A = this chain, B = another copy of it.
């Protein structure tokens, strides 16, 4: 009984903190997500301590709720993304994904080597600079109703490419760090698996749904289409982790498949309350992971500033260069849209800490950098999008049902 009381209190505190943070941010004309992350930082271990480090460790209820939250968020984003739209921006998204990984990886490893890491370790540190966290950007695009813009499609497509490359890169640096050599065949198999998974599920799933989605209404339960696509979402989220990809990639694919159904509009409406309840857990938990104590020295703060600047600039350049064919304004939006790192940077940092590659300070700095990029992006992106309001929308003839 006592335990139930404790966890309920935590859920209540996290949820209310997210609402208050989001409300304050919106009153300050900032995206709500910034306030939710800041609220997490405030109630987290390093400030108020209302959430303890044990409560946000991997596999805890709060961590799982956060994971479900970001999965549902990317599912909802997928639900507003048609495969046809992605195809149209396919080439640009591919280039943005590739260049947007190479530039930060290059700049990150040069910086790390310049700071006394040997090359193997430098590559490991640089891996933390690489992966874009689609969750933050997706939430901003959604809050601003900008998901149908061409820039949004490029960002989402590039985020999928980005995740594949980041996964491969992480495999390489972990193997190098462990003293192993790079097994090119193995890497090719992993790459083929990931690409094959996305292609088969995305393309095949969308085809099936476009061909016939009436069967979703067959079950007797009152919410049958929703239940089936939620099952699909959880199933594909799990399956994508089996292919070494982030769970959110599978969730995004599930949403994209569901967007081809006749019931898409209803599903979109029904997903909103799910996001409202669960995504705050993701953003608050993300925010609560910064350890401010490790950063409480001028030297650490300076290092953080440099690392964050490199992370932002390198990713921006990568995305900007990759999408210049769409014009400078769009390229600027896309470049900034790719900046947030969020959870993937934190995963790399955690692996690095466990492998003894980093000390606590570098760990705290990489985590803080991931979060700073996540907090800096939303206001800038919101401003850029508003300045270019009414930008190019993607128009696809509606071929559903």
Contact = CB atoms under 8 A, between A and B. Distances in A.
A3 B350 CA distance: 14
A73 B66 CA distance: 21
Contact of A68 (B5, B11, B58, B247): B11
Contacts of A186: none
Interface in A67-85: 67-68
A237 interface: yes
Nearest to A58: B3
A47 interface: no
SS of A interface (majority):
helix
A276 interface: yes
Interface stretch (A108-116, A155-163, A217-225, A311-319): A217-225
A1 B241 contact: yes
A137 to B, nearest CB: 18
B19 A219 contact: yes
B64 A7 contact: yes
A26 interface: yes
Contact of A4 (B58, B219, B273, B276): B58
Nearest to A351: B1
Given A58-B3, A61-B59, A241-B1, A273 B26 contact: no
A55 to B, nearest CB: 11
A1 B226 CA distance: 27
Interface in A116-143: none
Contacts of A220: 23, 26-27, 32
A238 interface: yes
A238 B15 contact: no
Interface stretch (A227-235, A283-291, A326-334): A227-235
A392 interface: no
Interface string A375-400: 00000000000000000000000000
Contact of A241 (B4, B226, B273, B277): B4
B273 A234 contact: no
Given A219-B19, A227-B276, A277-B230, A59 B11 contact: no
Contact of A12 (B4, B16, B235): B235
Nearest to A9: B238
A347 interface: yes
Interface in A343-390: 347
Interface in A1-41: 1, 3-5, 7-9, 11-12, 15-16, 19, 22-23, 26-27, 32
A175 to B, nearest CB: 15
A237 B67 contact: no
B231 A12 contact: yes
A9 B221 CA distance: 23
A244 B1 CA distance: 8
A51 to B, nearest CB: 15
A234 B59 contact: no
A7 B234 CA distance: 10
A224 to B, nearest CB: 9
7 closest residue pairs by CB, A with B? A61-B64, A8-B238, A5-B241, A12-B234, A26-B220, A270-B273, A223-B276
